[in-house]
Amino acid sequence: MLLLLLLCVSVVAASALAAPAPGTSGKGRGAARERPDAPNVVLVVSDSFDGRLTFYPGSQVVKLPFINFMKAHGTSFLNAYTNSPICCPSRAAMWSGLFTHLTESWNNFKGLDPNYTTWMDIMEKHGYKTQKFGKLDYTSGHHSISNRVEAWTRDVPFLLRQEGRPMVNLIPNKTKGRVMERDWETTDTAVNWLRKEAVNHTQPFVLYLGLNLPHPYPSPSSGENFGSSTFHTSLYWLKKVSYDAIKIPNWSPLSEMHPIDYYSSYTKNCTGKFTEREIKNIRAFYYSMCAETDAMLGEIILALRQLDLLEKTIVIYTSDHGELAMEHRQFYKMSMYEASAHVPLLIMGPGIEANLQVSDVVSLVDIYPTMLDIAGIPLPQNLSGYSLLPLSSEMFENKYKLKNLHPPWILSEFHGCNVNASTYMLRTNQWKYIAYSDGASVSPQLFDISSDPDELTNIATKFPKITYSLDQKLRSIINYPKVSASVHQYNKEQFIKWKQSVGQNYSNVIANLRWHQDWLKEPRKYESAIDQWLKTHTPAKTGLAQW
């Protein structure tokens, strides 16, 4: 039945390629068009989806029929990246079109102002019917008090486990397809909206669907596995994974790890011993969760087909960040390594080139101008991103030749928990340069992605001229030592406010956060380290407007 439906969708999608391209019915780029002629837009954003799975060889590990369908009938961006590898800051960039240091979304509990004007707000003002369902998280993401304190105190010179050891949990049911019930309910709601509302609109619509999968499941609040994150699936999805094709990642010895990586691995409770079977199971379960995510994307595509909306609708699929799944001795994200920072980005619909693979580096801030460009709405001048339409169609490439082209680099930055220094990545077609803190106190990393895709060899000292050149380029984009100092000051100020808010209960509360098993062994030692950190002189806080 699925193959038959996919075949039907293929026929319709092929005809959609002959439909007028976005923007062609206006009087040039950004011209307001007649609303009935404008394409609908559907944006599906999942969580924690490793973008490398959308192309070879990653796609050989797990069956992703609807992602493969989008690849065949649309444009795949092979080098798409998050602008911050954690939920809220990443989504703040996506919804604002601005880099993280401009939104000042430093962590999972500091995002955009709730009244911020997003691309969806602008599209609504220009005649689009808008609807959003599911995970948004661009004003604030999932977090606990422990998350907050861990982020604020990351510069304190101590090592404490902040996570439980990652684990797997299998539902031994070969027919259990709806494992993440909440996501399925959200997907059903979006499909029902398409059937009951969107199909009857005379104006074009834009629909957003946010999914939690394939993010690991929340940690248990008590018991033996307190604080652990769970990769959870059923036999139904596990059979979609080619177990033999799963790669066991190479790890550097603990003594040879970059100091930032070691801190991250330790706080994520991954410095202990893991058997090869444990690692392979975590990866297999993660891929199974990706397969379930693909099926939800498929529900949207099939509904558009059944309602005769597919040929009138541009569909975009992406994710807020990836998932390390035990690469570099880590799980979760909060890293600039490919598994964490590389996201899927696929676009299909009228005017979008079919079976096109784009190798140019792009990032999630490009979503904002792309959405407006699809609708023919003039683009604001202050955006960090660029429309992806010139890269996804020869018509647009010729139309925009010599202007408004995407630069040959992207910027990603991270300022939250599990990493004890602000982190900045400049990615070009060949190089990945990662700088930390003030650029001097922590050594940088340089990887040649073309020859070292697993990022196992830091060649920053081997190629000092390239390292210097990339660092200068990074500094021309962002004054990162100044940003790091501002975040450092922000962390101290927020921690002091929190400490004052708990009053006399401070010692008891801080001793019983997620790190309690380590903390309670030497509570005075760690509390004293925080006191000393708070006394250390910090530069006065300065505004970010000039950055």
- State how far the Cα of 77 lies from the Cα of 352, in Å rounded to an integer: 12
Catalytic-labelled residue, pool 8, 87, 270, 417: 87
Q: Is 87 a catalytic site residue?
A: yes
Spatial contact of 208 and 133, defined as CB atoms under 8 Å apart: yes
- State how far the Cα of 340 lies from the Cα of 121, in Å rounded to an integer: 30
Spatial contact of 335 and 85, defined as CB atoms under 8 Å apart: yes
Q: What angle do CA 512, 515, 516 make, to 5 degrees?
A: 40
Residue 432's nearest CA partner among 389, 392, 400, 473 is 473
> DSSP label at 110?
B
Spatial contact of 409 and 426, defined as CB atoms under 8 Å apart: yes
Query: Which amino acid is present at 355?
Result: N
Residue 364's nearest CA partner among 382, 391, 388, 340 is 388
Spatial contact of 54 and 70, defined as CB atoms under 8 Å apart: no
* Residues forming a β-bridge with 75: 347, 356
Residue 241's nearest CA partner among 270, 214, 273, 275 is 214
- State how far the Cα of 461 lies from the Cα of 7, in Å rounded to an integer: 53
Q: What are the catalytic residues? A: 87
